[in-house]
Chain A
């Protein structure tokens, strides 16, 4: 599927894989002339913006140079060190010069973009390649078997890989090995390919197919296998791609005969070693698998021959092809629809010509129609087999219950050279996700406890293990739940132990005379006793603290017995004028009153007795009172004793008392008495 188009006749170079966003550099090609026959040259940088659906590519910078180029490559040198943010553009010029440009400066629009240049070669520099491993090394090849290895850090003096091959001939292609950094291959149009070892500084092997004559136009090493490479032939009599393995270098391993006319350029994808692009004079761009020889894909092009084809290092599905009709097209091999693109082309042409007849006959041209015979499919089929970068090798997904499903594909040993039998073990693992081991252990323990019903011990363990006080408390409570007498134990846990409290309370009893307790303390103590249900102590405390009202009220709540005791204590404590009376009323102890009352208040005493005394003790009490009055009181009171005797119903005493009282008037009163 065609993504973009640039109208230039130029050699192209993609920015390195580390560079983002993706740029395409184009340098005016020295080999082709465009329609205007202009000899001006420029170096341009375009940006590949895929979010823009239009066909045009955004031009970021233009630099008009004095040279035209045979070859352009973009290396990542100094990108990591930050010195040159976008790497280095290396151009091979038509006058034997190798020029280094700084693309970052070109994009920025600086005037000084040339880093260095050197005119070492004798003829046009047609072949250039950057070493993958040591990105400061660039190999260049020109006429007369000249090959120079340039060090970008020390550009002045290049090295040679060895003695020049004889006979001297042009170098059309040069390529560094993709696996081994000191191996370099160079090819010349006569079909002779030399492989150089830079450590030994000499050629190690010369490959040439003696049976056929091929005009070598393309050379590429296998991305994965160090000893394999392909050579492409431009000769129309032998339009083949030969796959060579250097271990068996007398004849090619495989020959791909997919083109009908000579091949102009090849490109091997770094992302997937099964994709080899080739473009030829039959106007086809084919993507084939060099390992098996089959054609995977044919790019739909209806343009002229392409002379340069490049994979984009960063985006493995994108490639660019420069064609003789003055256009560079960017394609994607992932397929897609070309409907939109065709329409655009039609529109473009229509608008250029307009509908007016250019010859002035006054008649309008019929609307432009597409030639029917080419009718390409509007749907572009993608590659038959998905490229490596789309195949997902590993994955994981979660499922219910904490299960994790993972799958991986174990790598197999590749058998180089022969058909690869990939014995891959495919495994899907279902595993339980355990994020916190400790948690799992704890839940296991719990499980056990539940099953064995050993709750108490489980809780105990938890208490021991708990670090926070809160946790300890929680577990202690839970534990108590499983024990008997839980309520008491809960209380204990809360800090209120009945015995303790009792002890505390008894203590103040022993030192009641020492008023060292503040109100707050006693309050607290009272609270504690109440909370543990110990009314007695509470009452005691209240009494000690002179909180009489509290004490009595509590005593009421505490039961009858407690109440009476409290009353006693209260009365013992309190001494007011009418305390005695109150005491007597409450305790119903009239004897006491009678015995100990002040005789001046005999009336009150008698009244009380009359009101409250029970029938059985009434008489006795009155008697008692009377006796007292008689024995203790003065003469006035003695007479009052009689009244008591009357109340008591005690006749003898009454008579005796009366007699005593009425000593003088005895006969008169005796008669009154008798009646």
Chain B
């Protein structure tokens, strides 16, 4: 059973992971599909894969039920394991790379309720920071906020390294979506968003298009998809809006690059794409018909 499929930054490669414990990488240029690599290393079903920004090279992270997070890197055409993290007590459900401006940082959410942040400090060394008990009986999803300060379309022209406030959102089995902020090197819970009545299965922070609002989409076991918007830059007042209540579990939400379309996948193999956040459904794909 395939659990995740992600395209890299340029859309030339596709990484898939499955319950057969493997991570496969395909070259999908021009509509073809050539298997480039079959990565083995996990001892349980692999739940999610995430591509890092190409400026760091070809790096892929995968997390699995066997409590491990493995970072793979392509060197001279071959893919190899470059780092393995086993600091979690239970299944790691989600991995997400931070925006490249922050460096090479990976957030991992696990069923033991903790979220760990692995930062690459250089020369093959990784530093680990752990947020224990982020979500009481398990964290299901993590998603980073985009690196721009909301409201600025362009980067700081001053040339110096801007002071980014690192933030990410996480969703867990305690029905909450939490927003975490880094302050003085420590991660603190900034906000607790309550609206779901069952496990939050996925959260996705919309990419920034320069508008001063921040938007998060969250989907849950109870079939509801909420869109949370925050209008002020300090990130204090989030207001939810129910996008739709589906009849079945919603597993995954994903934003398009321009943040105007949200793909919602749930229930029994149904994928819905919703545009403009709030109103109508643009398409309702039934993959069986493809």
Contacts and interface: CB of A to CB of B under 8 A. Distances in A.
A405 B254 CA distance: 10
A406 B173 contact: no
Contacts of A430: 7, 14, 28, 31
A392 B47 contact: yes
Contacts, number: 178
A399 B44 CA distance: 27
Interface in B170-207: 173-174, 176, 197-199, 201
A336 B45 CA distance: 18
B18 interface: yes
Interface in B222-273: 251-252, 254-257, 261, 263-271, 273
A515 interface: no
Interface in B1-38: 1-11, 14, 16, 18-19, 28, 31
Interface string B86-116: 0001110100000000000000000111000
A107 B270 CA distance: 39
A311 B148 CA distance: 46
B65 A400 contact: no
B272 to A, nearest CB: 9
B65 A386 contact: yes
A382 B111 contact: yes
B198 A400 contact: no
A3 B271 CA distance: 35
B219 to A, nearest CB: 11
Given A50-B137, A392-B252, A428-B5, A336 B112 contact: yes
B275 interface: yes
Contact of B18 (A53, A408, A426, A429): A426
Nearest to A318: B137
Contacts of B290: 429, 431
Given A406-B271, A408-B287, A430-B14, A51 B176 contact: yes
Interface in A384-427: 385-386, 390-411, 424, 426-427
B16 A51 contact: no
Given A53-B136, A406-B287, A426-B18, A400 B44 contact: no
A407 B14 CA distance: 12
A394 B112 contact: no
A334 interface: yes
B133 interface: yes
B51 to A, nearest CB: 10
Q: Which of A314, A317, A402, A409 has the most CB of B within 10 A?
A: A409
B211 interface: no
A432 to B, nearest CB: 10
A402 B260 CA distance: 11
| Interface range on chain A (Cβ under 8 Å from partner) | 35 or more
Given A335-B89, A335-B90, A392-B47, A398 B198 contact: no
Given A335-B89, A391-B19, A403-B7, A408 B269 contact: yes
B155 interface: no
Contacts of A379: 89
A354 B14 CA distance: 62
User: Interface extent on B, as a size class?
Assistant: 35 or more
A413 B198 CA distance: 30
A456 to B, nearest CB: 33
A398 B262 CA distance: 9
Contacts of B254: 395-398
B1 A409 contact: yes
Contacts of A395: 3-5, 251-252, 254, 265
A14 to B, nearest CB: 15
Contacts of B10: 400
Contacts of B197: 20
B285 interface: yes
Given A396-B252, A409-B269, A404 B45 contact: no
Contact of B45 (A380, A386, A431): A386
A400 B7 contact: yes
Contacts of B123: none
A409 B270 CA distance: 11
Which of B65, B133, B176, B275 has the most C-beta atoms of chain A within 10 angstroms of its own C-beta? B65
A393 B136 CA distance: 24
A315 B287 contact: no
B216 to A, nearest CB: 16
B3 A334 contact: no
A424 B1 contact: yes
B117 to A, nearest CB: 19
B288 interface: yes
A408 B47 CA distance: 14
B261 to A, nearest CB: 6
B138 interface: yes
Contacts of B7: 397, 399-400, 403, 405, 430
A51 B174 contact: yes
Interface string A50-67: 111100000000000000
A433 interface: yes
A332 interface: yes
Nearest to A430: B28
A404 B274 CA distance: 13
A392 B251 contact: yes
B2 A409 contact: yes
B282 interface: yes
Taking each of A50, A395, A424, A429, which has the highest tally of chain B beta carbons within 10 Å of its own beta carbon? A395
A337 interface: yes
A401 B11 contact: yes
Contacts of A435: 261, 273, 275, 282-283
Interface string A313-343: 0110110000000000000101111000000
B173 A427 contact: no
B89 A407 contact: no
A390 B28 CA distance: 29
Interface in A268-319: 314-315, 317-318
A334 B93 CA distance: 11
A50 B173 contact: yes
A664 B4 CA distance: 140
A406 B251 contact: no
A391 B252 contact: no
Contacts of B275: 435
A379 B88 CA distance: 9
B270 A3 contact: no
A426 B2 contact: yes
Interface in A447-469: none
30 contacts: A3-B136, A51-B136, A51-B174, A51-B176, A317-B137, A334-B91, A334-B112, A335-B89, A336-B111, A380-B89, A390-B91, A393-B1, A394-B251, A394-B271, A396-B271, A397-B5, A398-B257, A398-B261, A400-B7, A400-B9, A402-B256, A406-B263, A407-B2, A407-B4, A426-B18, A428-B14, A430-B7, A431-B290, A433-B283, A435-B261
Interface of B: 1-11, 14, 16, 18-19, 28, 31, 44-45, 47, 65, 89-91, 93, 111-113, 133, 136-138, 173-174, 176, 197-199, 201, 251-252, 254-257, 261, 263-271, 273, 275, 282-283, 285, 287-288, 290
In the A-B complex, the 6 residue pairs with the closest CB atoms: A335-B90, A399-B7, A400-B11, A395-B252, A408-B269, A396-B263
Given A394-B251, A394-B268, A403-B7, 15 more contacts: A3-B137, A335-B112, A386-B19, A386-B65, A395-B251, A395-B252, A396-B263, A397-B4, A397-B6, A402-B256, A405-B14, A408-B271, A426-B2, A433-B283, A435-B283
